[in-house]
Amino acid sequence: MTADSAIPRHVAVIMDGNGRWAQQRGQPRGAGHRAGVKATREIVENCARAGVGYLTLFAFSSENWQRPASEVGLLMDLFMRALGKEVADLDKNKVRVRFVGDHTAFSDALQREMRKAEVTTASNDGLQLYIAVGYGGHADITQAVRALAEQVEAGALKASHIDEAAIAGRLLMAGVPPPDLFIRTGGEQRISNFLLWDLAYSELYFCDTLWPDFDKVGLDAALRWYAGRQRRFGRVLDEAS
Ligand code: IPE
Ligand code: IPE
Ligand code: MG
């Protein structure tokens, strides 16, 4: 038996390798981030075309704050500009955009722009695009557990009623089916604190392509690989099925 459906319902991507892409060309890392914007636009278009329902893109991790201030500043600037430029097209293509992560350290202007993108696209029923910025898997689970603990403290919830569904229901991706296919570009084979809870049974695909070079051909290769996977979720599959 191959993957339940040939097309993953939810694809989650660590868009990695911008810095190395630039370094290979003797350019500053920022040039790689700039080049990565095009690959980001393309994967959104190509996932929508392929019939993927949900796409989650890891754009900035809670740990990426530890990068030099100049690189962080440039990334924030790029988000701001990309949002300003892309939202009209996303909206036209029926893409709904949402941001997950801790955004409190972002500038007010950027937070406003993010909110505007969410509001503008709120009624779109095409590709559901989640952008993980200021996101960390540990922080996500921590805030979920804290929210439940507060309910217990207030007497609104019994500790014995905290089950997996209660935790999942408090995560930032609550209500979204977990990723079927995880893709990481850039050659590293690690999760880097992305969706720790949600990735429990995702098919993990790693490729060496650096993010700015990841195009339709790369996505199609990942989708083909996914279609050939056998997902067991811990069960033994009937030989005949
Ligand atoms: C991914 O590319 C983009 C972000 C983390 C914001 P990197 O900047 O991590 O590029 P490499 O991994 O250093 O090549
Ligand atoms: C993960 O990439 C975060 C994003 C792509 C946004 P990193 O480049 O930050 O991860 P590490 O440092 O290689 O683990
Ligand atoms: Mg990296």
Model confidence over 8-52: pLDDT tens digits? 999 999 999 999 999 999 999 999 999 999 999 999 999 999 999
Q: Are 136 and 193 in contact (CB under 8 A)?
A: yes
pTM above 0.75, yes or no: yes
- Asked if pLDDT for residue 240 goes beyond 90, the answer is no
Set out the domains of the chain in order of their start, with CATH numbers. Answer: 11-135+177-240 (3.40.1180.10)
Q: What distances in angstroms separate CA 132 from CA 18, 34, 111, one per listed residue?
A: 17, 18, 13
For ligand 1, atom 1, the nearest C-alpha belongs to 16
| Span from the CA of 46 to the centroid of ligand 3 (angstroms) | 23
Handedness of CA 161, 165, 171, 175 (dihedral sign): negative
- Cα gap 140→98, rounded to integer Å: 16
Residue 237 binned pLDDT confidence (cut-offs 50, 70, 90) = confident
| Diameter over CA atoms, the chain | 60
Q: How far is the CA of 75 from the centre of ligand 1 (A)?
A: 10
C-beta separation of 115 from 97 below 8 A:
no
C-alpha 105/C-alpha 137 separation (Å) is 17
For the chain, how are helix, strand and coil distributed in percent, rounded to 5? 50, 15, 40
